[in-house]
Amino acid sequence: MTQRIAILKGGMSPEREVSLVSGEAIAKSLRSQKYDVMEIDAAPNLWEQLHEADPDVIINALHGEWGEDGRVQGVLDLFGAPYSHSGVMASALAMDKHRAKAVLRDVGITVPEGLLVPREEAAQNHPMDPPYVVKPNAQGSSVGVYLVHEGDPPAAEMAENENMGDLVLVEKFAPGKELTVAVMDGKALAVTDIIPQTDWYDYEAKYSDGGSKHVIPAEIPDFARDLCLTWALQAHDALGCQGVSRSDFRFNAENCTESNVVNKIVMLELNTQPGMTPTSLVPEQAAYVGIDFDQLCRWMVEDASWPR
């Protein structure tokens, strides 16, 4: 019997446009595999939208606040149909970068030095010696991320950027390569080196055509690759994630040896609902290990469960 699949996309976060692309790509794939697909542009009346669609399985392709911070997952738990990606606890915890870092640090993963600061205060005075990065504590995809270089004044413009929230996360800038690892079906897939074509791996570099170059596998020492793979899987498990996740790292290769590599790699964050756009990293890594996009989407349907 053909399964009826509801795909949640769009939503109300600043990452709405990316979510629309992710959802449409998944819908196209599943339709080609003869699933009965309903696309839902998630709204505040999501409960009614789900009851009207009456799906057998729900694929959550929402990104950012509200879509992957545990609130939608709570609705899905109440609705009672199998759904994809992480549940309430893991979603809420991973989205709160400051609290997630405490868990990661507790299991031995190196994370950047950082602190929570009122946004307006960080816009007026340096919370720490530059260089440092200021980011929303509960957003994704580098929306509203500020890099303050040595010699720069504080990022005064963020005072007006209410999308960042009242408290922002300030982290010591970690130099080096931008690396990422996808975890799927209990396995860390590969390490990708992300080379932005802009000054910073920001929203444009992530999602614009040609915004960044992806090197897979990353050209790094085997011991550094193995540590990234180990930490990505460890983080996935420590935060209680399910389905697919993606962990982001910075690797400073200068004077790096096998004995000091744990001090040369820092984990920046874990994304519980990584993108499925044409430029997204998870489909690339899946393809690298022999899983094409149709297989990836079908696996998400088969992996869905309730409760998560």
- Spell out the CATH class of 4-86: alpha beta
Can you give the pLDDT at residue 144?
77
- Asked if residue 256 has pLDDT above 50, the reply is yes
**Distance from CA of residue 53 to its chain's centroid?**
27
Can you give the pLDDT at residue 4?
96
The verdict on whether 269 is a catalytic residue reads yes
Domain with CATH 3.30.470.20 in the chain: 94-110+175-291
**CATH homologous superfamily for 114-172?**
ATP-grasp fold, A domain (3.30.1490.20)
Q: How many helices and strands (H and E) does the chain possess?
A: 10, 12
Domain 94-110+175-291, CATH: 3.30.470.20
- pLDDT (tens digit per residue) in 60-119: 999 988 899 999 999 999 999 999 999 999 999 999 999 999 999 999 999 999 999 999
How confident is residue 143, by pLDDT bands cut at 50, 70 and 90?
A: low
Q: Exactly one of 68, 171, 248, 284 is catalytic; which is it?
A: 248
pTM for this predicted structure = 0.91
Domain with CATH 3.40.50.20 in the chain: 4-86
With H, G, I as helix, E, B as strand and everything else as coil, classify residue 73.
helix
- Asked if residue 41 has pLDDT above 90, the reply is yes
Can you give the pLDDT at residue 1?
47
The verdict on whether 207 is a catalytic residue reads yes
Q: Exactly one of 19, 271, 284, 308 is catalytic; which is it?
A: 271
Q: Please provide the DSSP assignment of 47-86 as one string.
A: HHHHHHH--SEEEE---STTTSSSHHHHHHHHH-S-B-S-
Q: Exactly one of 35, 83, 146, 207 is catalytic; which is it?
A: 207
Can you give the pLDDT at residue 264?
97
The verdict on whether 275 is a catalytic residue reads yes
Q: Exactly one of 178, 269, 284, 308 is catalytic; which is it?
A: 269
Q: Exactly one of 119, 225, 246, 250 is catalytic; which is it?
A: 246
In whole angstroms, give the CA distance from residue 246 to residue 178: 13
- Asked if residue 280 has pLDDT above 70, the reply is yes
Can you give the pLDDT at residue 99?
95
The verdict on whether 298 is a catalytic residue reads no
Q: Exactly one of 86, 141, 245, 247 is catalytic; which is it?
A: 141
Can you give the pLDDT at residue 164?
85
The verdict on whether 248 is a catalytic residue reads yes
The verdict on whether 141 is a catalytic residue reads yes
Domain with CATH 3.30.1490.20 in the chain: 114-172
Can you give the pLDDT at residue 210?
60
- pLDDT (tens digit per residue) in 187-231: 999 999 999 766 555 555 555 556 679 999 999 999 999 999 999
